[in-house]
Structure 1
Amino acid sequence: MSTNACGTNEDRRLFEIVAKRVADRPAAPDQPSGDKAVAADIMRLSLESVRAHIRLTSDARRADGQAFRVYPGYIETTKIGALASREGPLHVCGVYAGLAAACYETANFCLAQASMFPDVGDPTAEISPAPLDKKSPGFWMRDIGKRLDTEAFIEQGRTYLAQDPQRQTTALLLAVLMLRVVWFHELAHCLNGHLEWGSRTYGLTCLFDGADPDLPQPVFPEAHLVEYDADQSALMLACKVQLAGAENITGLLAMPLAQRLHLTLFAAYAVTMILAEWGRAYPFMVRDESHPPATLRLANQVRTVASNVLPLAAEVKTANAAAFDDLRKLSALVPAFPSIDAVVTGPDASALHDGLDRAQDALAELRHRLQPHLYQTIA
């Protein structure tokens, strides 16, 4: 298969233009690689990994023969969010640095808990810290830590680091998997034709994940549907990376398939919890018209696994059950996070799924309209 040269100087220039025009923030510089690379840099590892996966999309074409081009990069802001946009024929996927930090903090908190991920390393070595300053994990650095001097920040932040070396490493890999789900969500907005269809139908220039009150938000009747679609695609693609032997991170390749799937599924659900907390703690940052409530997005993910991922391999059932167990433990530690049981067996679960049934029917109709704008590999 031919590969897509992701990251030309021209692509980078266009990405910087989009970051400034759409997000009103500068593009973050790429982190050093090779001999100058910072060890255990989750932002670099995640970006290099997704760029390697993107290189496999060069055969993707639109119905009219237009080749798929995309450039992913980080955007300098402490806000929690991501975006997909276009500059001419180039699609752009941008992840806010604040979301990367939230993934890192949440992953470390989880692996520092003796009750979570009991099959990784020696969980009895962990001190199981409570949330710092009563802030939900993922938000301490952003809200409290950034106000501290360097010494105090390091001292307090170290509380969230796992004690067991294997669990420390796994926390970093979990953060990378969480970011992968974000990248794949934005990539789905591009590949699934959301941007081009939205541009032609409503004049949209960008789709945001995590609203920004300083920026104009795209609001259109199908806004929730394209988010459900991107969530489904991102989750399925993240799992297929493991099931199809497409993993490109050495530390993950060393793990058994069931463990990689466990981490992948937990990562997908956990990102939704971070976005849920962003909306709960900062309601002025979120517009209900542009994104479904987090509980519905979580329920959509659960349904996607049941209908589209469970049939693919026997290991998925065990991995998903393990992810659910860890999510229950996380919600018990951080009550602000949504409960997985609320969308599976809770008293409101039936109504949630009735609503999603209707949304899925509407999404099936929308996919017909998206067809001319969809990028896919033609055998």
Structure 2
Amino acid sequence: MTEGARDYSGFFRDGDDAIARAYVDRSFGAGAYLDFEPGAAGRDEILVASTASARDYMMQSASCATSGGQIFRVRPSLIETIRPNAFATRHRDLHLCGMNTGMYGAIFELCNFVMAQPGLFRDIGEPGRETATPLPPGVVPGFWLIDQLRIHGTIIDKSLAPSLMPKCPERYHFAVALTLHVMRFVWFHEMCHCLNGHVGALVDIVPSIRLNEMPDDSALATLVELEQASLPMNASAFLQAIELDADRSALWAAFRTQSEDKENVIALQQFDQAQRIKLSLLSAYLITFIMEEASRRLNSERRESHPDSYTRLHNLVRTTASHLLDARTGMQAIFYDVMRELKVLRGAIPSLVDVDQVLADCLSPQFQAVLDDKEEQVETARSYFITFSFN
């Protein structure tokens, strides 16, 4: 599904795979590192395409270096675990990015459900074939399978599965395309934690630190250690600021990938540029919903290391308004088309954000004042981690 492989020599080295495997197995359990060699059992072509695409884009940063001369290197890995998460860290001179298969599963299930709704993407395939069967109370698209496995350890009821899948083959293939776009945003987010200097700044304080898309059991210990450091603000505010910064950079990278026609997945190149940009925006906004639902399933109530999902969404909407709407003709129409799709989707997913409320808060001085404070924190944090960034 991806274009011809590039020459990764010098960027991806022979020992990198062993380093990544050792880190994943040590951190997540023996056998957690996913191998996708040709002919491997259980090989998932969507995962293969997503990871190959991410490696190609990451390789394009091969010439980046810090002001001190450190060369940028990063390797993406897949981790076999049900919990939706992703991470960024560093081992010596090699940055490591990872995505859990649980994250992929949540994204894939949600994207299929999106295309199973006849009112969404009405220009794709035959939406009239979709039945839009109402889901039972408590079932959240993206988390139906995860919740069964989490609670029961197995799939005890498969009867709901057809309701989550589009009937039209063309719409199913579009769901796969949307899945690849959402996964790309996650990969870009983790890569930007590395490129922007977030990882370098924090590894300098806590060598074992791992930045996670969702807080894990080490989050509280990390906060305690960072509180002793000379950060420009308290540790929780700093960690939230770098999450918002990584989201902005990931959205910008996803937009430029399409606006500059740098799509490297052959199956995605068939869509026109406006459609690909629309998918990039929608993907960024949808990931905040996945984070919100994943957050609700955490055992711990201590989530100070990450901003709430509504703030993250508004951070992305602000980035769209300030940097993307004037970057290409027709962007305003694309943005409002995305918001329309989300509004229709909320009819099928009641826990999805209220688009009318989002747009109202965009015009609310009180709410925007809160975001202005977040903006100042990002700028203050940036003055600290910029020393560790790669350009």
Q: Same fold (TM over 0.5)?
A: yes
Which residue of 2 is the match for residue 256 of structure 1? 272
Q: Check conservation: 1:242, 1:260, Cα contact below 8 A.
A: yes
Structure 1, 191-200 or 38-47: larger mean CA deviation = 38-47
Which residue of 2 is the match for residue 67 of structure 1? 71
Q: Check conservation: 1:74, 1:96, Cα contact below 8 A.
A: yes
- Structure 1 residues 325-366: Cα deviation after superposition (integer angstroms, max 9, x where no partner): 111122221111222332321499543321221121222232
Query: Once superposed, which parts of structure 1, at least 4 consecutive aligned residues long, lie more than 6 Å away?
Result: 35-40, 148-151
Which residue of 1 is the match for residue 106 of structure 2? 102
- Structure 1 residues 23-78: Cα deviation after superposition (integer angstroms, max 9, x where no partner): 45644323345x87989732111111111111211111111111111010111110
Give the AA of the match of 2:264: N
Which residue of 2 is the match for residue 277 of structure 1? 293
Which residue of 2 is the match for residue 320 of structure 1? 335
- Superposition deviation, residue 317 in structure 1: 1.8
Which residue of 1 is the match for residue 61 of structure 2? 57
Q: Could you tell me which of 347, 368, 372 is aligned with 2:383?
A: 368
Which residue of 1 is the match for residue 190 of structure 2? 186
Gaps of 5+ in 2: 1-5, 224-234
- Superposition deviation, residue 134 in structure 1: 3.3
- Superposition deviation, residue 255 in structure 1: 0.8
SS at match of 2:67: coil
Higher helix residue share: 1
**Distance in 1 between residues matched to 2:382 and 2:246, nearest whole Å:** 12
SS at match of 1:71: strand
Q: How does 1:152-167 map to 2 (within 5 A)?
A: 153=158, 156-167=160-171
**Distance in 2 between residues matched to 1:325 and 1:204, nearest whole Å:** 43
Percent identity of paired positions between Structure 1 and Structure 2: 28
Q: Check conservation: 1:40, 1:172, Cα contact below 8 A.
A: no
**1:66–1:287 Cα change, 3 Å:** same
**Distance in 2 between residues matched to 1:9 and 1:330, nearest whole Å:** 45
TM-score calculated relative to the size of structure 1? 0.90
**1:45–1:363 Cα change, 3 Å:** same
Q: Could you tell me which of 46, 49, 61 is aligned with 2:50?
A: 46
- Structure 1 residues 258-288: Cα deviation after superposition (integer angstroms, max 9, x where no partner): 11111111111111101011123x2425633
Give the AA of the match of 1:192: N
**1:16–1:37 Cα change, 3 Å:** closer
- RMSD in angstroms over aligned alpha carbons? 2.6
- Superposition deviation, residue 316 in structure 1: 2.2
Q: How does 1:202-351 map to 2 (within 5 A)?
A: 203=207, 205-213=209-217, 218-219=222-223, 220-221=235-236, 222-280=238-296, 282-285=297-300, 287-346=302-361, 350-351=365-366
**1:317–1:218 Cα change, 3 Å:** farther
- Superposition deviation, residue 223 in structure 1: 0.8
- Superposition deviation, residue 294 in structure 1: 0.5
- Superposition deviation, residue 215 in structure 1: 6.5
**1:10–1:351 Cα change, 3 Å:** farther
- Superposition deviation, residue 254 in structure 1: 0.8
- Structure 1 residues 136-193: Cα deviation after superposition (integer angstroms, max 9, x where no partner): 111001112685977964x642332211121110000101111100011100100000
**1:145–1:199 Cα change, 3 Å:** closer
**Distance in 2 between residues matched to 1:306 and 1:347, nearest whole Å:** 10
SS at match of 2:15: helix
**Distance in 2 between residues matched to 1:359 and 1:94, nearest whole Å:** 27
Give the AA of the match of 2:24: A
**Distance in 2 between residues matched to 1:201 and 1:300, nearest whole Å:** 27
Structure 1, 324-333 or 270-279: larger mean CA deviation = 324-333
Q: Check conservation: 2:197, 2:386, Cα contact below 8 A.
A: yes
Q: How many residues align?
A: 372
Report whether the alignment pairs 1:30 with 2:19: no
**Distance in 2 between residues matched to 1:274 and 1:205, nearest whole Å:** 24
**Distance in 1 between residues matched to 2:43 and 2:122, nearest whole Å:** 26
**Distance in 2 between residues matched to 1:248 and 1:116, nearest whole Å:** 26
Q: Could you tell me which of 121, 124, 130 is aligned with 1:126?
A: 130
Q: Check conservation: 1:113, 1:127, Cα contact below 8 A.
A: yes
Report whether the alignment pairs 1:93 with 2:97: yes
SS at match of 1:313: coil
Structure 1, 345-354 or 94-103: larger mean CA deviation = 345-354
**Distance in 2 between residues matched to 1:70 and 1:351, nearest whole Å:** 41
SS at match of 1:129: coil
Q: Check conservation: 1:193, 1:375, Cα contact below 8 A.
A: yes
Q: Check conservation: 2:24, 2:33, Cα contact below 8 A.
A: no
Give the AA of the match of 1:342: Q
SS at match of 1:314: coil
Report whether the alignment pairs 1:20 with 2:25: yes
**1:190–1:347 Cα change, 3 Å:** closer
